[in-house]
Amino acid sequence: MSTLLIVLGLVAAGYIGYTGLEWYFVFVGSLLIVIGYMIARSGQMYGIYNDDGIAGFIKMFVFQMVGWSIITFIIYFVAKLFS
């Protein structure tokens, strides 16, 4: 399930760029990737939640969104070149 969400997020970023949608739709792809990442690392997420509470969990989510947004923006702009 996690691999499927990650691949769907990457494909969504490419599709959004190829069809010429606005740049902020790329965050949908990033969101899918982050959810897939958190499913794959569910034990780690549970540990972060136990150690730091909900604030640590939200911080982890935000940092992952920023990191994966860089990757999806690169895919978006490369796909936009071919549209």
Give the CA distances from residue 12 to residues 25, 34, 58, 60, 73, in Å, rounded to whole numbers and listed in that order. 9, 13, 24, 23, 11
CB of 29 within 8 A of CB of 5? Answer: no
Q: What does the pLDDT average to over 5-33? A: 94
pLDDT of residue 18: 95
Please say if the pLDDT value at position 76 is more than 90: yes
* Confidence at residue 80, expressed as pLDDT on a 0 to 100 scale: 94
Sorting pLDDT into bands at 50, 70 and 90, what band is 31? very high
Confidence category of residue 35, pLDDT binned at 50, 70, 90: very high
Predicted confidence at residue 62, as pLDDT, reads 94
Per-residue b/e over 47-73, b at no fewer than 16 CB within 10 Å? Answer: ebeeeeeeeebeebbeebeeebbebbb
Domain coverage including residue 15: 2-81
Q: Residues 36, 9: contact at Cβ < 8 Å?
A: yes
- pTM for the whole thing? 0.89
